[in-house]
Amino acid sequence: MKCPYCSHNDTDVIETRDSEDLAVTRRRRGCGKCGKRFTTYERIETVPLTVIKKDNRREPFDREKLERGIWRASGKTTLKAGDIRTVVDEVERELIGGNTTEVASKKIGELVAKRLKKLDKIAFIRFASVFKQFVDLEEFEGELKKLIKKK
């Protein structure tokens, strides 16, 4: 594995941990040249998923894009990096476990929203405001009222 800091080709594995469901292996590595440490994640390569956008365009599923979207929604909330990674892992696992390799972006949004709702209400409402494309204050207010009722 190449060091992301100095590009040295010889790095050592310091620690290895598997996720609870054994779907991901996390490795802490150290560079023999610069001495810095970094983390890598190993996942099983699966059949690529295709996302069908609202305008019917198709694009490959991108974990990092999904994670960035959740990060934007969860800024200054109680969510931690591990929480966001878990949401992305769970959503990806559910999509891969489905019976198709093409999935609507709306379905992905629903899966993320469902998980965010349980973790952090503010992150959920921020994500929902983009995902559901609220066009006026009444739609936003309606979603807030649903959240408050379920408390």
pLDDT in tens, 13-72: 999 999 887 888 999 999 999 999 999 999 877 678 999 998 999 999 999 999 999 999
- Are the beta carbons of 37 and 30 closer than 8 angstroms? yes
Question: What span, in angstroms and rounded, lies between the C-alpha atoms of 151 and 149?
Answer: 5
Model pTM score: 0.64
Q: What is the pLDDT of residues 79-135, one digit of tens each?
A: 999 999 999 999 998 998 888 899 999 999 999 989 998 998 888 888 887 776 666
